[in-house]
Every structure is written in C-alpha cells, then in structure tokens.
C-alpha cells in the first residue's frame, strides 16, 4: 500500500493532473441532482478534483475530507476553510447533512470488507433523503486497456477487487440506497509507458508486488524488454456508480432532482 502522505507532493503529476481531474469532476457532477446545494467529497486527496466540483456547479457548497494530513494540506490550499481531516469510516457530520456525497478512487484501496461497508454506510448516513452517493467502481479493471504492458502484468499475483460494481452496489443497498445510474470518464494523461510502469512497480503501486517482492525484478525486466519504452499506451476509462437515498414518504418541497 502506498503511503499517501509521502505521495502528496507528486500525486497530481503522476496521475494525469488537471485534465484527469476535470474529467472526473464532470463525471461526478453529471450524476449529482441539479438542485443539490451541498456535496461532501470523501477521500479528497489533494483536492484537485474537489476544487473542480466546486467550480463546476454554481451554488454548490463543497466540503473535502481525507485522513492523510499531507493530502489535506494540499487540499486546504485549494479550498481554504472547506477541508476536514477525518476518516471515511467515521464521518464527523450529522445524519442527512449533505445533498450529495462522492468518493473517487477510494474503495479499491479498502481491503477489509467491513471497512468498505462502513464507508458506504457512513456516506449514506450523511445524505439527505433524495440525495445521491457517487463513487468509482472497478478501478483495477479500468487500467487494463489491452496493451502489451497489460499482457506482461496479467500474470502477476492478484487479489480480489474490493470495488467491483456488484460488491459496491450490495454495500449501498445494505445502507438503504437504491441504484441511480452510471457514467464513465477518461483517465486523461494516465496511459502508462513501460518505463512508467517500472517506476510504479518500484514505488509500490502494485499492491501484490511491493518493493522487495521476489517477483518484482522479474516483472521489471519483462517490462524493460517491451518496445517504445517512453510511449504512453491508451488512457484508462473509469466507471462511476450512483445511488440515491429514498424519501421515507411524500414531503412537498423537499430536495428532489431538477
């Protein structure tokens, strides 16, 4: 697992920067009801997406939250006074406080199903009735674009994905949410070159091949043998799933889609 405090300084540059952030924010906002007035971005990281969520919807009050202090420092510089240091498993907000909640590139990192359930349940808890939770799903599969790099990496040790669409949907239903749509967006600037894949391998990006793993050097050598070492392959395409918190009954004038 990467240390996200250590990653904070280079996080944006290594993950597509502003173009990827713009695509992610556009995808999330496309699933957020037009009348939403407040959004919580859980695991906001450096705030690069969070800032675009705020800028992309006039009148939308956006709050960012992350548990890595260094990430929160970067996010707070982008959104002064609107970022909280906290754990997604225990959100420091009241029930029904937000019209929308997002978690972009979070659940794939959560190996313990109990923690993943808790995060989704907490996101559901702080939603108002009619509100929508939007999250990325199937992140690992999104990076497989059928390139020669993917062919090499296909034989590496695997662990079960913790953010499959079906699994996340089951957590959402357990938390009282109902499916409310899907969207896809491009991970602009994230197409890997062989040399970049080797660098990712060396710094622990691939959780089943951490630095020092007996097979790490073998995979690095196979990646180094590929042609066009500096040519990025295709960008990944990420998937968002949305879930709505139902109204307990008819309440005229309550927050609804628009």
According to the model, what pLDDT value does residue 16 have?
58
Superfamily of 8-143+160-191+234-245 according to CATH: Vaccinia Virus protein VP39 (3.40.50.150)
According to the model, what pLDDT value does residue 254 have?
44
pTM: 0.89
The pLDDT averaged over each successive group of 10 residues in the chain (258 residues) is 59 68 96 97 96 96 96 95 98 98 96 96 98 97 94 92 97 98 93 94 87 92 98 96 89 44
Q: Which of 188, 192, 140 is nearest to 163 (CA)?
A: 140
According to the model, what pLDDT value does residue 2 have?
57
Q: Which residue, chain included where needed, has tokens 């713009």? A: 22
Residue 138, classed as helix, strand or coil, is coil
According to the model, what pLDDT value does residue 90 have?
98
Could you tell me how far CA 24 lies from the centroid of its own chain?
Answer: 9
**In this structure, how many other beta carbons lie within 10 angstroms of the beta carbon of residue 134?**
26
**In this structure, how many other beta carbons lie within 10 angstroms of the beta carbon of residue 59?**
9
What is the secondary structure of 26-89 as a DSSP string?
Answer: HHHHTTS-TT--EEEEET-TTSHHHHHHHHHSTT-EEEEEES-HHHHHHHHHHSTT-EEE--TT
């Amino acid at each position: 697992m990467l240390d996200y405090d250590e990653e904070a300084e280079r996080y944006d540059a290594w993950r597509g920067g502003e173009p990827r952030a713009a695509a992610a924010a556009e995808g999330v906002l496309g699933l957020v009801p037009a009348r939403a007035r407040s959004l919580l971005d859980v695991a906001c990281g450096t705030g690069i997406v969070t800032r675009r969520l705020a800028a992309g919807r006039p009148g939308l009050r956006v709050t960012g939250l992350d548990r890595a202090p260094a990430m929160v420092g970067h996010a707070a510089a982008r959104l002064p006074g609107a970022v909280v240091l906290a754990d997604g498993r225990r959100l420091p907000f009241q029930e029904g406080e937000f019209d929308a909640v997002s978690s972009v590139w979070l659940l794939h990192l959560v190996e313990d199903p109990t923690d993943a359930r808790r995060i989704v349940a907490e996101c559901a808890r702080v939603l108002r009735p009619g509100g929508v939770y939007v999250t990325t799903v199937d992140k690992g599969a999104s990076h497989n674009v059928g390139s020669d790099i993917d062919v090499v990496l296909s034989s590496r040790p695997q662990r079960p994905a913790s953010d499959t669409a079906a699994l996340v949907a089951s957590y959402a239903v357990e938390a009282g949410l109902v499916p409310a749509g899907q969207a896809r967006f491009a991970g602009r600037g994230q197409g890997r070159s062989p040399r970049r894949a080797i660098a990712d391998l060396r710094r622990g990006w691939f959780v089943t091949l951490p630095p020092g793993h007996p097979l790490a050097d073998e995979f690095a050598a196979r990646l180094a043998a590929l042609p066009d070492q500096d040519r990025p392959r295709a960008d990944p395409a990420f998937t968002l799933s949305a879930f709505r918190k139902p109204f307990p009954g008819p309440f005229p004038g309550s927050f609804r889609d628009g």
